[in-house]
A and B are shown apart, each in its own frame.
Chain A
Amino acid sequence: MPAPAGLVVEVRKLRGAFALTAAFAAPAPSVVALFGRSGSGKSTLVNLIAGLLRPDAGCIRLGERTLCDTAAGIDVPVESRRIGYVFQDARLFPHLSVAANLRYGERRAPAPRAASRFEELIALLGLERLLSRLPHQLSGGERQRVALGRALLCQPHLLLLDEPLASLDAARREEVLPYLEALRNRLALPMIYVSHQFEEVLRLATHVVLLEEGHIRAHGSLESVSLDPALQAVLGPDLTGAVLEGVVGAVDAADGSAELRVGGGTLRVSLAGVGPGDRVRLQVLARDVILAVQPITGLSVRNALPGTVTAVADDAFGALVSLDVGGVTVLSRITRAAQRSLALRPGDAAWALFKAISTRGHAYRRP
C-alpha cells in the first residue's frame, strides 16, 4: 500500500487516560477518511500529523520528508511542515478581511506564488463576492470555504480537514460538500478527512481508517472497509452496505437512471448529473438487498444479480450475507428466520435483488 509519495504514520500518544496507537499508510493522491465515533482519537491523530501535538513515540513521513521521528530526534515544527489544516470551527482571523485571510498563508509559502492560482482557487471555491467581507459577515458554509481556500493557498503537501462540516446544518453542508468534491477531483493533493458522518466519507474518501478508542480497527480502500464487520458495528444496521465503484455506461436522463458497470456486471441505478464514462461510487445498503435462491421474474426490481454466497455472519441485528456477484461483493441483511428457511451457506448460488432507487451514488471523479 505505501506508495513513494504517500503518507506513512506510526505513532503512539498518551493523553491522560486516553492512549492512541495508530499505524497506517496511504498512497499519494488519496483522500483518507479518519472515521470513528466522537472520542475515538481522530482529532488527536490529525493534530499529531499537523505537529500541534507531539507523539510519545513513532514517526510520520510524507513522501520523501520525515516530519517526525522520535527515535531520530526529528520534529519539524508546525509552521515548516507545509500541511494545510481546515479546522471544524474555521478559525478565520476575525480582524482580517476574507482576502487577507486567504493571502495569509500564501504570503508565507516559500514557493513563488502564481497569480493565476489565487484567481483559480477563488473561482473554484466561489469566493469572488466575499473577498472584502469580514469573517463575522459570512455564513458558516462560506467561512469553511474561506478556511479551505486559505489552507490551500499556502501550497500544502497534505490537507487535513478536521470535521469541517460538523458545526453546519444540512443545508450549509451542501454549501461546502460540492466544493470539496471539486477540489478532490481537480487537485492531486492528498487529504485526510476527519468525520463521523459516513455520508461525507462516501462522497469524498478513497480510503478509510476506522478508529475506535484510540486504535485502528480497519483500514484500506473504502470498498474493502465497507465489508469489514468493525465498520458495520459502528455504522449500525441502517447504514451498513457494500460500497461499489463503477463506470457510468448508458444514461437515461428522462428516467433519472443510468447503467453502471461494476466488476463483471452491470447495475441499473438512480443517478443524476452524471455522464457516460464518469467514475461513480455508490453504496448498496444491506437492508435493501433481497436474496433469492432461484431466479425470479415479474418484479419491479431493476437489479437481479446472480452470485455466490461467500460468508454468512450472525450478528446482533440478524444475519448478514456476503454475496460475490461478478467479482464484487454485495451485502444483504436478512432476519434469522429468513436465514433458517433459506439455510444459505458459503458456496451456495443466490440472486441479489435491489431497486435502482435504493442506491446512494456519487460521481467521485470525472474521466
Chain B
Amino acid sequence: MAAEGCTALPWRDPDWPRAGLPCHSADDARSISAPDMNGLLRPAETEALLLSLEVALRSVLFSLPPAILIAWILARTRFPGRTLLDAFVHLPLVLPPVAVGYVLLLLLGSRGPLGRWLAGHFGMHLAFTTAGAALATAVMTFPLLVRAVRLSMEGVDPGLEEAARTLGAGRLDRFASITLPLVVPGILAGLVTAFAAGLGEFGAVITFAANIPGVSRTLPLALYTAMQSPAGDETALRLAVLSFALGFAGLLLAELLVRRLRHRREH
C-alpha cells in the first residue's frame, strides 16, 4: 500500500519532496530509533506523537462545522438527493484510504484544479504539508463525526424546536439555542472518537502528505517506517503500544463524556 504511495505519483508532481521520500533509507531508520536518555520517548517518537496530536486536532477542528451542518441536513430535512448525500458522506468508511489520498492529490496537488487555484490565490499548498495531512485525516474521520452528531440530533425531540418556534425563535435561533446545546454530548463524543481515529490515519496521509519527518510522519507512519528498518523492532513495538494506549484512552473518554452529559440532563 505504502510502496504504491511512494512510487505511483511522485515523479509527476514537482512538489514531491524527494529528500523525505517515504521509501525508507537506512538514515531514516537510524534517526527514528536513536536512543534518548531524557525520558520515556525518544525525540523522533516524541516528534511523531506531537505531530499526530497536531494533525488529529487540526483535522477535527476543520471538519466539525461541516459535520454539524451535514448531520443537521441528514437528521432534519427531507429532499430527493438525501440518500445519495448520506452514502457520499459515509464513503471514506469503505474506501481504501489510499484511494482517498489519491483523489485529494489529484484535486489539491500543485497540478490539480483546486490546488492550482489555492496556490494562485492564497499561496496555499496542501499536498506534502502538515495541513495536508490534517485535511486527509479530516476527510477520513468525517463520517465518524457526522454519525455521532446526527444520532444525537435525531434524539432531540422535534417538539422542543416547535415549542421554541411558538415562542418566537426563528430557524437559526432555534438551532443555536435548542438543538445545538442538546447535541453537545454527541458532538463531544464524535470529536473524541474522530480525534482518536485521526491519530492513527495512515493511508490517506502517506499518499497525500508523504512521510516527511516533522511534517507528515505521524505515529502510524513512524511505526511503519520503523518496521521497515532492520533495527526498528523495538521502536515499532513502543510506537504500537503508544498507539494502543492513545486509542483506548480516547474511546474511554468519549464513553465517559457521553455518560456524564446524559446523566446530567436525564429527562
Q: B166 in the interface, Cβ–Cβ < 8 Å?
A: yes
Q: B91 in the interface, Cβ–Cβ < 8 Å?
A: no
Q: Which residues of B are found within 8 Å of A109, using beta-carbon distances?
A: 168
- Most chain A C-beta atoms within 10 Å of own C-beta, residue among B164, B167, B177, B266: B167
Interface contact A93-B164, CB-CB below 8 Å: yes
In the assembly, what is the distance between CA of A179 and CA of B157, in Å?
28
Interface contact B166-A136, CB-CB below 8 Å: no
Q: What 0/1 readout, one digit per residue, does chain B (153-172) give for beta carbons within 8 Å of chain A? A: 00001011011111111100
* One of A50, A52, A134 near B265 (C-beta < 8 A): A134
In the assembly, what is the distance between CA of A89 and CA of B182, in Å?
18
Given A93-B160, A95-B182, do A136 and B167 touch, yes or no (CB 8 Å)? no
Q: A117 in the interface, Cβ–Cβ < 8 Å?
A: no
Interface contact A85-B168, CB-CB below 8 Å: no
Q: Which residues of A are found within 8 Å of B78, using beta-carbon distances?
A: none
Interface size on A, residues (CB 8 A): 26
Given A136-B266, A136-B267, do A154 and B165 touch, yes or no (CB 8 Å)? no
Q: What 0/1 readout, one digit per residue, does chain A (83-124) give for beta carbons within 8 Å of chain B? A: 111010101011100000000110011000000000000000
Contacting A at CB under 8 A, from B115-168, are 157, 159-160, 162-168
In the assembly, what is the distance between CA of A223 and CA of B265, in Å?
46
Q: 17 extra interchain contacts, Cβ-Cβ under 8 A, other than A82-B168, A89-B159, A108-B169?
A: A52-B162, A52-B165, A79-B167, A85-B163, A87-B163, A91-B157, A91-B162, A91-B163, A94-B265, A104-B164, A104-B169, A104-B177, A105-B167, A105-B168, A136-B265, A136-B267, A154-B168
10 contacts between A and B (CB under 8 A): A52-B165, A79-B167, A79-B168, A79-B169, A81-B166, A83-B166, A91-B160, A93-B160, A108-B167, A135-B267
| 5 tightest A-B CB contacts, nearest first | A108-B168, A105-B167, A85-B166, A91-B163, A78-B165
Which A residues are closer than 8 A to B by beta carbons? 50, 52, 78-85, 87, 89, 91, 93-95, 104-105, 108-109, 134-136, 150-151, 154
